[in-house]
Amino acid sequence: MKTPSTSPTSSTPLRGTQPHCQTCSLNALCLPLSLKDTDMERLDDIIRRGRPIQKGQLLFQQGETFQSVFAVRTGALKTYTLASNGEEQITGFHLASELIGLSGYEADCYPLTAKALETTTVCEIPLPQLDTLADELPDLRKQLMRTMGTEIRHDQNMMLLLSKKNAEERVASFLLDISQRYQRRGFSASHFRLPMSRVDISNYLGLAVETISRVFTRFQNNELIETQGKEIILRDMDALYEMAGLVSSTHCEKHDE
């Protein structure tokens, strides 16, 4: 399948005009985590930084050959699959500092389509160079494995969300998931912007748009949240955590065999 003309690498900027890993404010959350300065420079050398992707444009398309992994630098994207009848099913939302495209490892092609929800910039990491560098840098390979593990855990949580929880529990879980991801980036956990539409949220959570609107209204009336456009304030996070059946901090326990 032909690569879309909207690919961010279709115009490669001169080195020096774009931020590098060492100076990027997100480097503690992205692949360079725990890398030494010299190793980070090697990773930086293989990264491509193209022009921004505009809202509605595709980063990659379902069925295309898996060629690169992408780190979101600014903005947000959604990933979705298309059924044979053309119906879209959203599988995730991706915010700054998060990797996207790793699912292509399984079949050597992208099983999903990624579309920008707003003007978005990404760092493209070509697969051949990434594989070679990961073989030489154990810390980089470990970080890739950690990121894949996080994606698997998130997918498992999503399966539980859709199979066991009612509408209010799903929306509360969704808001808290976004909250935690913003918090990891150093932003407020209680006041943030939702880049996705309510139509997208309803698709992702398996609910009708009208149900999403009713739940948001109910949450506002109960002073759990406050909304203004796409801005949202979580007024009672304890109540949201209780409703979602979650705890405010998750600990991974190790068990002796």
Q: What's the average model confidence in pLDDT over 96-105?
A: 87
Q: What's the average model confidence in pLDDT over 195-206?
A: 96
φ and ψ at residue 249, rounded to 5 degrees: -140, 140
Give start-end residues of each CATH 2.60.120.10 domain in the chain. Answer: 37-155
Report pLDDT digits (tens) over 210-246. 999 999 999 999 999 999 989 999 999 999 999 998 7
Give start-end residues of each CATH 1.10.10.10 domain in the chain. Answer: 166-244
Neighbouring residues of 4: CB distance < 8 A, sequence distance ≥ 6: 57, 58, 60, 61
What CA–CA distance (Å, rounded) separates 57 from 158?
26
Query: Band of the pLDDT at 127, cuts 50, 70, 90?
Result: confident
pLDDT at 162: 77
What CA–CA distance (Å, rounded) separates 122 from 100?
10
Query: Band of the pLDDT at 120, cuts 50, 70, 90?
Result: very high
Q: Count H helices, E strands: the chain?
A: 7, 10
Structure tokens at 211: 């149900």
**DSSP assignments along 127-176, one per residue:** HHHHHHHHHH-HHHHHHHHHHHHHHHHHHHHHHHHHHH--HHHHHHHHHH
46 with 130: CB under 8 angstroms?
yes
Distance of CA 136 to the CA centre of its chain: 27
Name the least confident of 65-79, 129-143, 185-199: 129-143
pLDDT at 14: 35
Mean pLDDT of the chain: 82
**DSSP assignments along 186-247, one per residue:** TS-SSEEE--S-HHHHHHHHT--HHHHHHHHHHHHHTTSEEEETTEEEES-HHHHHHHHT--
CATH number of this structure's domain 37-155: 2.60.120.10
Reported CATH class of domain 166-244: mainly alpha
Over 50: is that where the pLDDT of 48 sits?
yes
First to last CA, the chain: 48
**Total-model pTM:** 0.79
Going by C-alpha positions, the residue among 32, 78, 28, 29 that lies closest to residue 53 is 78
| Residue of 244 and 107 predicted with greater confidence | 244
What CA–CA distance (Å, rounded) separates 87 from 90?
10
Name the least confident of 34-38, 39-43, 177-181, 196-200: 34-38
Query: Band of the pLDDT at 207, cuts 50, 70, 90?
Result: very high
pLDDT at 6: 40
| Residue of 185 and 7 predicted with greater confidence | 185
What CA–CA distance (Å, rounded) separates 176 from 234?
9
